[in-house]
Amino acid sequence: MKIFDKKDFAKLLIKYRYLSIGLVLIVVCLLATGLTKLTFNPDLETYFPEGHPAVVRYNEIDDMFIPTDNLIIAVHSNEGTLFNGDSLKVIEELTKKSWTIPYSVRVDSLTNYSYVKSVNDDLIVEPFIEEAEKKSIEFFEKRENLVAGEDIIYKSLISEDKKTSVVSIIVDPPGPNKEDQNSELINYILGFIEPIKESNENLDIRLLGNPYLDYISPRIVKAEMPVVMPLMLLLIFFIVFLMIRSYVAVLATFVVILMSLIATFGSIGILGSPLNQMVTTIPILIITLALADCIHLFSIYFQNRVKGISSKESMEKSLEMNIQPLFLTTISTCIGFLCLNFIEVAPLRDFGNAVAIGIGFAFIFTIFFIAPVVSFFEVKTASKVTKQTRFSTSVGSFILKNGNKLIFSITSISFLILLCIPMNELDENPTQMYAEGFTSFSSDTLWLDEKLSVTFPVNFLATNEEGQVSDPDFLKILDKFSVWLEEREQVNHVTSLANNMKNLNKSMHGDDPEWKKIPENADLSAQYLFFYEMSLPMGLDLNSSISQDRKSTKISATLKDMSANEFKEFNNEVLGYLQQNNLENMISEPSSFRVIFTYMVEAIVNSLLYGLFIGILLITLIIGLFFRSYLLPALSIFPNILPIGMGFGLWGLFVGDVGFMVAVGMGSTLGVIVDFTVHFLSKYELARKEFKKSVEESVIYSFETVGFALIIMTVVLALGFSVLNLVTFIPIQDFAKFSVICFIGGLIINFLFLPNLLMKFDKRKF
């Protein structure tokens, strides 16, 4: 006894089509209410892998000291050094205005640097440069000579050639409306920067920093969506019309896509999941996958219409033939995207869940809305359908005639490509995520890195469990470690409490350079630190580097730009030093926003590989249950996995850098590639079991019924994803390129390899 009869289902659906159409419209209208609840969260910190040691260290340092999320105003002189009245007046003006920025908690610059000197045995702390417009040329010359000896700011706030300086502004919006608060402060700062830039053409002034990146991200998305989405839709529908030649089919497909997008984003709003930089990818995936469902439905529909069968009966036959494979491909594709839930990165989990929801709605609307609606119309079909069927059949015949050659060729080529997988390097640079177009943020960051290497900061947490940070023995350990760091080729600049204490000791001894060392007496050291803190102006205290319990301090360093592997080598050097000197419990490994991103891709890949294993296992099990066969799920593993492996091999050969979205492509492309396999096998198994055809005849039948539909689907997927190369967010560009490689590989493997595997191994008798 059959639990589910395809023929009865198709007849019932068409019989009660008014009810089906009405229920779908009600669901869409209800879900549309969620569109008003959509929010956007551009904060890249949401991409941090939850529970990763680097994230734990980062949060510990951020909680212990004032936040390190800073804006940078970079100032570069195009004519000589910055040590002149006009240039320093601009830096001083930028510094003063930066204090008025909403939510700013600290501003550090060349002009407000707390310069320490000794006058008649008194400790004097004053701004390095104040009221620049009133100072003489001789004053500027003296300050220019002095700055090289101020190791706290030299090569940190001022470049070695003294042509570039930065104003560092730490901001701390209280939340919860961080996006609105971030927009408020960035709009404020742009309001005073632009007039200063216009009136000082000899200076190159640029704004950088994570808060600015968070500000431009949603604006880039809003600017690109009205361009990318219509272009993609026009391109896709043009291709579909060329291949199907039916206005009704194109219009029906558009309705499915529109309803699927409304239902998906409405669901996201109702669930309360914030959108992020990947919002452009979600509709692209839903559009292409909804289109795939429609193509398969209309493919069989038109094959029946061209035989003169009525629209109603043709749709019943198409539903009968497609309901199970479409349901199976929907489940398998959803599993592929739900594999992203194994990743400990919330935006990627939300992305996978959103696409899975969209795929589910696309299936429901295709079956329960478009099929009933189209059955009302006697849709005309072009004779081109017959030509397409003949073309697919001839392709199948050619493939079977050259079976042995193709198996050998595919196996050999695949093996060579898979050997290139180790050429890939896991890496992600958060400062280089945007291509030139709507923003110059990435090029500005590279520009600043060339002038003054401050774009790869790292922090070390040093804790004195047996005393306070002013203890001379503890300070000597910090000093030794800081000197060792400065000697590293990868390090540009190091700042630690030890630097401050050595400068204080020198100042307290008449600025004698021989006294630039750690004080020997603990009480004297504590007094120096106390007097120094009391002399610092409000907002420039040591809370940014000393904890409230006085037991911990922060060592800050800026590194030269490097890849993830190069950083890991540097990190291993640091670990070696700490272990060799028994300091593992005193000084932490380096941590920062940038450091986390160097580990992020590795964490994603490790989680996703486990998720993929579970996903492939579930998909294979479902295929086995669906076809009630051990053979077909076993054979399906090759065309399901091989295209992804070859995709990584080709990526390693031609690109090499694997970012987080390329890693995500492993899970997302799996579900789509399984579609090819399931649709091909479903028609093959129909011919074998119900029509009692031979293996060869069944393969030809698969090509005849679904071959051209798979070609259309691949062309549409490739073109649709290629449009994503127009977006500014580089990880999405990489995701699109990797996905297109896998989709084309999936079609090739399913056409050239799978049929010949069936010919070799299917010995069943029916």
The pLDDT of residue 598 is above 50: yes
Give the range with max mean pLDDT: 85-89, 424-428, 548-552.
85-89
The pLDDT of residue 706 is above 60: yes
The pLDDT of residue 661 is above 70: yes
**For residues 318-324, average pLDDT:** 87
Instruction: Give the CA angle between residues 496, 501, 505 to the nearest 5°.
Output: 155
The dihedral sign for the CA sequence 637, 696, 296, 239: positive
Dist CA 138 CA 456 (whole Å) = 35
The pLDDT of residue 295 is above 70: yes
H helices of 695-753, in order, are 695-702, 708-722, 730-752
**For residues 35-48, average pLDDT:** 81
Dist CA 196 CA 199 (whole Å) = 5
What does the mean pLDDT of the chain come to?
A: 86
Query: How do 425-426 and 657-658 pair as beta strands?
Result: parallel
Cis (ω within 30 of 0) for the bond into 176?
A: yes
Q: Which residue has the higher pLDDT, 325 or 118?
A: 325
**For residues 325-342, average pLDDT:** 87
How much is the pLDDT for 417?
94
**For residues 76-100, average pLDDT:** 92
Dist CA 728 CA 220 (whole Å) = 7
**For residues 697-712, average pLDDT:** 88
**For residues 720-738, average pLDDT:** 87
Please identify which residue in the block is written with the tokens 């259309």. Answer: 712
Dist CA 109 CA 732 (whole Å) = 36
438-452 in b/e form (b: 16+ CB < 10 A) is bbebbebbebbbebb
Q: Which of 111-125, 204-218, 540-554, 710-724 has the lowest mean pLDDT?
A: 111-125
How much is the pLDDT for 1?
42
Q: Which of 91-95, 167-171, 242-246, 327-331 has the lowest mean pLDDT?
A: 242-246
How much is the pLDDT for 674?
86
- Condensed to tens digits (0 to 9), the pLDDT of residues 358-395 reads 999 999 999 999 889 888 887 776 555 667 778 888 88
How much is the pLDDT for 602?
81
- Confidence band, pLDDT 50/70/90 cuts, at residue 504: confident
**For residues 660-667, average pLDDT:** 81
- Confidence band, pLDDT 50/70/90 cuts, at residue 225: confident
Question: What is the four-CA torsion angle of 551, 557, 562, 568, rounded to 10 degrees?
Answer: -30
How much is the pLDDT for 381?
66
Dist CA 265 CA 283 (whole Å) = 9
Dist CA 206 CA 444 (whole Å) = 7
Half-sphere exposure of 655 (CA within 13 A, CB side): 19
The pLDDT of residue 121 is above 70: no
Cβ distance 566 to 594 under 8 Å?
A: no
**Looking at residue 508, what DSSP letter applies?**
T
Cβ distance 343 to 604 under 8 Å?
A: yes
Candidates 276, 227, 282; CA nearest to 257 is 282
How much is the pLDDT for 534?
80
Domains and CATH numbers, the chain: 6-45+245-419+597-761 (1.20.1640.10), 69-215 (3.30.70), 457-591 (no CATH)
The pLDDT of residue 246 is above 80: no
Dist CA 571 CA 589 (whole Å) = 7
The pLDDT of residue 4 is above 70: no
Share of the chain above pLDDT 70, in %: 97
Dist CA 730 CA 733 (whole Å) = 5
The pLDDT of residue 535 is above 90: no
How much is the pLDDT for 744?
94
- Condensed to tens digits (0 to 9), the pLDDT of residues 414-466 reads 999 999 999 988 877 777 778 877 788 888 888 888 888 777 888 999 998 88
The pLDDT of residue 718 is above 90: no
Q: Could you tell me the two tokens for 223?
A: 């600017």
The pLDDT of residue 17 is above 80: yes
